Amino acid sequence: MQNDSELAVELLMNALRVRTPRKVREKQRAMIQAGQCILEGCCDQYESHGLCKKHVNKFHYEFKKIWLKRGQKAAIEYRNRRTREGTYLVNQDQRELARESA
């Protein structure tokens, strides 16, 4: 069984390996440049993580629900899967895309 520090290191290393496919990244760039939420069909202005306020709140609700029911590791895996799919931006990705569009 892993202790908390070993789990934290494993999760961090896993997060660093998360990559968004290039086609998805280009689509995200266009949406951020337009100031829109990165989710298909949503025209609202993005607030955080490339998502509008409604979708950010929905993501955090799902993330917390998974964390409470299945644990920290499952919640981090959910976030990483959403990042790979292009439906969630980690903070540094949003900053990079916003900087590129300026």
What total number of domains does the chain contain?
1
Percent of all residues in the chain with a pLDDT value above 90, rounded to a whole number: 39
Q: What is the pLDDT of residue 72?
A: 87
| Cα-based distances in Å from 81 to 63, 75, 88, 96 | 12, 10, 9, 20
Q: What is the pLDDT of residue 9?
A: 63
pTM beyond cutoff 0.85: no
Q: Containing domain of residue 73, as a range?
A: 4-101
pLDDT mean over 71-80: 89
From 81, 80, 93, 76, select the one nearest 38 (Cα to Cα).
Answer: 93
pLDDT bin (cut points 50, 70, 90) of residue 36 is very high
Q: What is the pLDDT of residue 90?
A: 81
* Structural Rg of the chain based on CA atoms: 14
- Tokens matching residue 95: 């900053």
